[in-house]
Amino acid sequence: MEIRHDVRHVTGRACVCVCAYLILSTALWAPLSALVCAPLVCIQAAWKKSIVVTSTRLELITPSSVNMADPQVAYAQDEYGNPFIVVREQGKKTRAQGTQAIKDHIQAARTVSNILRTSLGPRGLDKILISPDGDIQVTNDGATIMSNMELEHQIAKLLVQLSKSQDDEIGDGTTGVVVMAGALLEQSEALIDRGIHPIRIADGFERACEIAVAALERVADKVEFDREHIDELLKVAETSLGSKIVSKASSKFARIATEAVLSVADLERKDVDFDLIKVDGKVGGSLEDSTLVKGVVIDKDFSHPQMPREIRDARIAILTCPLEPPRPKTKHKLDIGSVEEYKRLEEYERTTFQNMIQKIKDCGANLVVCQWGFDDEANHLLLQQNLPAVRWVGGPELELIAIATNGRIVPRFEDLSADKLGHAGLVREMSFGTTHDRMLVIEECANTRAVTAFLRGSNKMIIDEAKRALHDAMCVVRSLVRDNRVVYGGGAAEVCASIAVAQTADSIASIEQYATRAFAAALDAIPLALAENSGLAPIENLAMVKSKQVTEGDARYGIDCMGVGVRVLRLVCLTCRTTT
């Protein structure tokens, strides 16, 4: 055991007196008593020296041996002239500045980027995310992984915002954008080591970015489609699903995504209203059992088991007011002292329920959808009046029903009228599996644009991942509705841009030439990661792709991650299921 007392190994919360420390050591560790007694005699004889005891030797610390410039230690004497050493609890914190601070930030961002690098492409690995509560989530969606990471470094948090921005604006490519950002920072670090100022590096990157975008616009192809010819849209949507957990059912999900987007799209204005698309799921069945419902699906059933399971030509009263007697809004107390008073209260409640139900029937409604619940008595009266009802419907679902059926949400029974009812051709209740879980389906709605993607899966984790995959596919189709130009995946677009930037860099006379070359090298990170995650030789395949594109002048050459290697990635015969 070493109890050496020097400036680098001593920690404490207050002043440590060497003499008291030695006396305490003598009392606690008997084997050291013989070693400590001699220093004690020395201290009593000469107070101008302090002694540090180790298990093997004695060392003398004199005032001249203490580094007074060290901020963690100070030499002092008490009122009797006894020497002691003052040790601070923590050393003086220093702030990184200049080049070192920039490198620290780059290293933090690269660490996050390397985590997502292995999830890129169809052969990318899924990540298992464990929440503080112990919940497990398996996904390779970049935005989901980034949003669930508990990051403290501010620069690393910027990458989370970058991924979220990509997800909100584009909907796909959330992994590739983080990998690309990490590659740019890695190249920036090498330029900083060579003495190039960060401002000049940023200017060079902006210039290189303009060159890359111009190169992609030259090689981009247009995808022609309409509501009757959607084959090209299906291929693009299937491409975005190739790296997801639903890849085995990618054709099914691609059709669901394409038909859902076209159902709510305004092709003339090139606008897609995602508010009319609802994505819902139910545990049970397989992914192939998923379907697109031309209407609204809500996870509710009729309030009474004897109510009809199917209603045709439904006229729906959408209520946000409860089916119960009015009560004071302030705190109140109701005292019942006799049987007559109780019967009078019961009669009041029954009369109130009957008046509410009569108002609903007078407006012509034959189905009630209520945001709040109602008790068994009201439920029984609704059954007697042949008025089916659904209770405890959530606010967002209530709004979607109102949009789909062209109805109005009614906050009071006095406001009910025939023009505020929603209309649907069919409302039916369907059940699933051996558990007979029931859900309501509202079809043939007045507003035919509203649709619901109803997903099935073996467990909740599969359904959650299927929802994220379908969202990415729908966002890709939406992007094509807005702008129908495409470039090819498998790293083909990145290699094409890299070649164009590298060729232009030689003509730049300023120091930005180095930053432009670094940008071209960073673009190679995407095809390298795709090849590496697919078990191919990264450098060899990248060299082959560049050679093919330069010698043959075909920007469609890329890395086929499904195992073929380098080939032409045409949209009309798509085999590489990758998105970058």
Q: Tell me the catalytic residues.
A: 141, 174-175, 472
Q: Are 275 and 286 in contact (CB under 8 A)?
A: no
443 φ/ψ sector (left φ>0, alpha ψ -120 to 50, else beta)? beta
Strands (E), 284-436: 291-293, 295-298, 310-319, 367-370, 389-390, 409-410, 422-432
Quick one: which H or E segment has residue 219?
A: helix 198-219
121 φ/ψ sector (left φ>0, alpha ψ -120 to 50, else beta)? left
**φ/ψ (deg, to 5) at 100:** -65, -40
Strands (E), 320-421: 367-370, 389-390, 409-410
The whole-angstrom separation of Cα 527 and Cα 541 is: 9
Quick one: which H or E segment has residue 107?
A: helix 98-117
Sign of torsion, CA 53 59 63 66?
negative
Strands (E), 466-564: 485-486, 557-560
The whole-angstrom separation of Cα 107 and Cα 240 is: 30
Report the Cα–Cα distance between both ends of the chain, in Å, rounded.
Answer: 57
Supply angle C-alpha 370, 372, 376, rounded to 5. 95
The whole-angstrom separation of Cα 376 and Cα 362 is: 23
The whole-angstrom separation of Cα 141 and Cα 465 is: 9
Inter-helix orientation angle 174-193/98-117, to 10°: 150
What are the CA-CA distances from residue 309 to residues 312, 318, 361, 371, 381 (Å)?
Answer: 10, 19, 19, 20, 18
Among 503, 487, 494, smallest CA distance to 528 is for 494
Residue with tokens 């001249």: 64
Pairing of strands 50-53, 58-61: antiparallel
The DSSP output letter for 114 is H
Rg (CA), the chain: 36
DSSP state letters, 9-26: T---SS-B-HHHHHHHHH
Pairing of strands 73-77, 83-87: antiparallel
